[in-house]
Amino acid sequence: MGSDIHDLSLAPQGWNRIRWADGEMPVLRAIRERFARERPLAGVRVAACLHVTTETANLMRTLRDGGAAVALCASNPLSTQDDVAAALVAEWHLPVFARRGEDRDTYYRHIHQALDTHPHLTMDDGADLVSTIHNARQELLPEVIGGSEETTTGVLRLRSMARSGVLRYPIVAVNDALTKHLFDNRYGTGQSTLDGLMRATNLLLAGRTVTVAGYGNCGRGLAMRARGMGAQVIVTEVDPVRALEAHMDGYRVLPMLEAARVSDVLITVTGDTSVIRREHFEVMKDRAIVANAGHFDVEIDLAALADLVEERQPVRPHVEECRLRDGRRIYLLAEGRLLNLAAAEGHPAAVMDMSFANQALTVEYLVRRGRELRPDVYPVPPAIDRQVAALKLEASGITIDTLTPEQDRYLQSWQEGT
Ligand code: ADE
For residues 162 and 249, membership in a common domain is answered with no
Q: Is position 371 within any domain?
A: yes
pLDDT computed for residue 75 by the predictor: 97
Q: Is position 414 within any domain?
A: no
For residue 347, give the ligand 1 atom closest to its CA. 3
For residues 68 and 154, membership in a common domain is answered with yes
Q: How far apart, in whole angstroms, are the C-alpha atoms of residue 109 and residue 114?
A: 9
For residues 336 and 211, membership in a common domain is answered with yes
For residues 23 and 76, membership in a common domain is answered with yes
**Ligand 1 pocket mutation, candidates 152, 187, 347, 359, criterion most atoms within 8 A of CB:** 347
For residues 109 and 199, membership in a common domain is answered with no
For residues 333 and 385, membership in a common domain is answered with no
Q: Is position 195 within any domain?
A: yes
Q: How far apart, in whole angstroms, are the C-alpha atoms of residue 24 and residue 355?
A: 13
Q: Is position 418 within any domain?
A: no
Domain end, chosen from 303, 321, 342, is at 342
Whether 56 is in the pocket of ligand 1, judged by its Cβ within 6 Å, is: yes
Whether 157 is in the pocket of ligand 1, judged by its Cβ within 6 Å, is: no
For residues 338 and 381, membership in a common domain is answered with no
- DSSP SS3 for 184: helix
**Ligand 1 pocket mutation, candidates 20, 181, 352, 354, criterion most atoms within 8 A of CB:** 352
- The structure's pTM equals 0.95
What are the CA-CA distances from residue 357 to residues 118, 252, 341, 407 (Å)?
24, 36, 20, 31
Q: Give yes or no for a contact between 273 and 303, defined as CB atoms under 8 angstroms apart.
A: no
Q: What is the pLDDT along the chain (418 residues), one digit of tens a residue?
A: 799 999 999 999 999 999 999 999 999 999 999 999 999 999 999 999 999 999 999 999 999 999 999 999 999 999 999 999 999 999 999 999 999 999 999 999 999 999 999 999 999 999 999 999 999 999 999 999 999 999 999 999 999 999 999 999 999 999 999 999 999 999 999 999 999 999 999 999 999 999 999 999 999 999 999 999 999 999 999 999 999 999 999 999 999 999 999 999 999 999 999 999 999 999 999 999 999 999 999 999 999 999 999 999 999 999 999 999 999 999 999 999 999 999 999 999 999 999 999 999 999 999 999 999 999 999 999 999 999 999 999 999 999 999 999 999 999 998 877 7
Count of the separate structural domains present in the chain:
2
For residues 335 and 387, membership in a common domain is answered with no
Q: How far apart, in whole angstroms, are the C-alpha atoms of residue 352 and residue 344?
A: 15
For residues 284 and 299, membership in a common domain is answered with yes
* No. of helices (H) and no. of strands (E), the chain: 18, 15
Tens digits of residue pLDDT in 224-249: 999 999 999 999 999 999 999 999 99
Residue 294 belongs to domain with CATH number: 3.40.50.720
Q: Is position 310 within any domain?
A: yes
Q: Is position 106 within any domain?
A: yes
For residues 126 and 251, membership in a common domain is answered with no
Backbone phi, then psi, for 211, in 5-degree steps?
-100, 130
Q: Give yes or no for a contact between 290 and 266, defined as CB atoms under 8 angstroms apart.
A: yes
Amino acid (one-letter) located at 122: T
- DSSP SS3 for 106: helix
Tens digits of residue pLDDT in 169-227: 999 999 999 999 999 999 999 999 999 999 999 999 999 999 999 999 999 999 999 99
Residue 243 lies in domain: 187-342
Q: Is position 411 within any domain?
A: no
For residues 193 and 321, membership in a common domain is answered with yes
Residue 176 belongs to domain with CATH number: 3.40.50.1480
For residues 202 and 329, membership in a common domain is answered with yes
Dump the DSSP string for 341-381: HHTS--S-HHHHHHHHHHHHHHHHHHHHHGGGSPSSEEEPP
End-to-end CA distance of the chain: 69
